[in-house]
Homo-oligomer: A and B are copies of this chain.
């Protein structure tokens, strides 16, 4: 009753159960999870089994364990999984291109969405970006694109983008450089004017420059 789900793997089931506990107890980011022994007892499994589930979640960056202190719900931005998985992915030919292309899919989609709605096309952020670029203020690429995806209000797309960004070799966390400035300004202007095609075109030329 209630817990009748059939999971092929037990520890995957435990991961599910821990997720449920997090939800039921309304555990927020940074909060402490029940201890290993408590979890094991509550879920009616051995400590090793509970530990295997916890370790898996840790490698994914979902939780954070501190020796002698406890287990805590992690901020997703910890992304410990990235370094581990990136190495695996990079060893496979052709995979990196897929990652970059998929990242771009989400970026293009965000730009299209912005251009198609009055509200998102005229957010004060875009003007603010425009003037910062004009005044040669230091700006990071990923901040601009992140704002765009955030504005679309699709958190899943944002999450996927955030993940793919880490796999991308592109220097996304670097400052905007010389010849990019006018291209980004064109992009911002096109969004404000709701000219979708022009915006996407500026975007493509921007990407051609930095990669």
Contacts and interface: CB of A to CB of B under 8 A. Distances in A.
Contacts of A159: 85, 89
A77 interface: yes
A189 B77 CA distance: 38
| Total identical chains | 2
Interface stretch (A37-45, A53-61, A126-134, A176-184): A53-61
A12 interface: yes
Nearest to A152: B101
A95 B60 contact: no
* A interface, size bucket: 35 or more
Contacts of A160: 82, 102, 160
A125 interface: no
B102 A156 contact: yes
Which of A60, A108, A109, A156 has most B Cβ within 10 Å? Answer: A156
In order of increasing CB-CB distance, the 10 nearest A-B pairs are A56-B59, A98-B156, A105-B109, A52-B55, A56-B56, A102-B156, A98-B154, A102-B157, A55-B56, A76-B88
